[in-house]
């Protein structure tokens, strides 16, 4: 521990950007650990580094008490008073215990811990440096690539670009200088990891800000971006100044401004449309270059609509492999169903026919229901009449039984008379 160490600390601060105070703190912690390990001392130890001379001093910290139970951690008030009359109960006193041979083993241990702290400080420095570049564009140099990543040198850190972040129409070669968009920075266990992209919509936003001053200062604002990287993109812009045309400003004279962005992205086609508060007008603008006749919103889904276009522009509105309609849907956030004018007329005619047929069906249903009700009423009346007839029949049967009984009694009376007459005749004889 000498002036050479001080020179090394100055070099680290100059070349690595690591502050001297950070290394000194690591050095003191390392020396404390080395002292406890090599000299078997577990008491409170304080190591101080002299930044002027490069010397190291080891102190044992003891507390002033009335009665000493552990001489390694405590000192009596009487002994403290012999050192200085100003000590009081509870004060801490430092006693220098620097070993004479505090040398090779302690220095080696300190070296290992210092190197570890230096690496941690470098990682923290890189992480802090590139965290501020997150969601920004940086120019880097392609170093190498494998089946998973393209490795881009950003200066003092190597960034990675995954396959989903690589442009499908680009081939990357060593020492190529490319602009990349920093998507995220992670403080990994080994080294800070920086992830970059060439396909993120944010790259398009930053390139427009670099090329178009009105977008950078906020006069023209990018409201939405839909992008299929390497092929085509749609950008919705609006102006915060009524005297500034947002689309014309973004395109530039003879398309010079947007052409610079297209060249940077390897020929990716660019559609710039005007953003408006009127959702129907915005959807119509998003389907450019196709002409839109009408936009009909779905009553059952507030984020769905049907767009009517002329018959001869149906394929233009849909685009190659549905790309124009797909990008317009992403740009506006609506589910878009595109129909030609003739298809729309047929659809509306069918819809109107269904609507006209509905009241007739309802009337038939009502008539059937009324017929069923009448049938139920007639059945009830028949049932009541049947009950009345049944009651009358029962009464007639009862009357007939009564008459028969009376007749039978009448027939029996003459027989009795004859019997009496016979008796009289016997008596006469």
Residues 6+ apart with CB under 8 A from 273: 234, 235, 236, 237, 247, 285, 286, 288, 331
- Percent of the chain's residues with pLDDT above 70: 77
Q: Which of 33-37, 207-211, 233-237 has the lowest mean pLDDT?
A: 33-37
The side-by-side arrangement of strands in the sheet containing 304-309 is 294-297, 304-309, 335-340
Report if pTM > 0.85.
no
Give the DSSP H or E segment for 159: strand 158-162
Give the DSSP H or E segment for 151: strand 149-153
Q: CA distances (Å), 87 to each of 35, 73, 76, 97, 379, in order? A: 28, 16, 11, 20, 117
Which is higher by pLDDT, 51 or 285? 285
Helix, strand, coil share (%) of the chain residues, nearest 5: 50, 25, 25
Using one digit for the tens of pLDDT, what is the confidence trace for 69-88? 877 778 888 888 888 888 88
Q: Which of 86-100, 352-366, 382-396 has the lowest mean pLDDT?
A: 382-396
Question: pLDDT band for position 209 (50/70/90)?
Answer: very high
Average pLDDT over residues 41-56: 73
**Is 298 a residue whose pLDDT tops 70?**
yes
Per DSSP, 143 falls in state E
**Is 371 a residue whose pLDDT tops 70?**
no
Give the DSSP H or E segment for 160: strand 158-162
* pLDDT on residue 233: 94
């Amino acid at each position: 521990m000498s002036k050479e160490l001080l020179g090394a600390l100055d070099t680290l601060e100059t070349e690595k950007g690591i502050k001297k105070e950070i290394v000194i703190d690591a050095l003191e912690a390392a020396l404390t650990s080395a002292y406890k390990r090599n000299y078997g001392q577990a008491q409170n130890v304080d190591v101080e580094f002299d930044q002027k001379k490069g010397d190291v001093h080891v102190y044992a910290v003891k507390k002033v008490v009335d009665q000493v139970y552990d001489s390694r951690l405590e000192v009596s008030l009487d002994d403290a008073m012999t050192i200085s009359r100003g000590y009081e109960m509870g004060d801490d006193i430092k006693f220098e215990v620097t070993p004479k041979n505090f040398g090779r083993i302690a220095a080696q241990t300190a070296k290992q811990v210092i190197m570890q702290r230096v690496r941690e400080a470098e990682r923290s420095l890189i992480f802090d440096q590139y965290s501020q570049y997150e969601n920004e564009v940086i120019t880097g140099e392609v170093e190498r690539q494998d089946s998973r990543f393209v490795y881009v040198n950003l200066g003092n850190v190597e960034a990675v670009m995954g396959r989903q972040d690589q442009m499908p129409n680009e081939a990357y070669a060593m020492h190529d200088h490319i602009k990349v968009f920093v998507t995220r920075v992670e403080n990994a266990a080994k080294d800070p990891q920086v992830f970059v992209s060439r396909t993120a919509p944010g790259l398009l936003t930053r390139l427009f800000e670099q090329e178009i001053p009105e977008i950078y200062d906020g006069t023209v604002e990018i409201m939405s971006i839909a992008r299929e990287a390497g092929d085509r993109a749609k950008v919705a812009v609006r102006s915060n100044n009524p005297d500034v045309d947002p689309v014309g400003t973004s395109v530039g004279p003879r398309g010079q401004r947007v052409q610079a962005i297209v060249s940077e992205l390897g020929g990716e086609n660019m559609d710039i449309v005007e953003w408006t508060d009127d959702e129907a007008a915005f959807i119509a603008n998003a389907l450019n270059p196709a002409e839109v006749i009408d936009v009909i919103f779905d009553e059952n889904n507030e984020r769905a609509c049907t767009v009517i276009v002329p018959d001869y522009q149906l394929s233009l509105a849909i685009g190659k492999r549905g790309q124009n309609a797909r990008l317009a849907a992403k740009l506006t956030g609506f589910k878009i169903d595109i129909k030609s004018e003739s298809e729309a007329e047929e659809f509306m005619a069918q819809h109107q026919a269904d609507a006209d047929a509905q009241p007739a069906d309802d009337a038939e249903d009502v008539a059937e229901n009324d017929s069923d009700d009448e049938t139920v009423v007639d059945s009830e009346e028949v049932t009541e009449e049947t009950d009345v007839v049944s009651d009358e029949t029962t009464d007639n049967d009862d009357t007939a039984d009564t008459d028969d009984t009376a007749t039978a009694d009448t027939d029996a009376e003459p027989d009795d008379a004859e019997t009496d007459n016979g008796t009289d005749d016997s008596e006469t004889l």
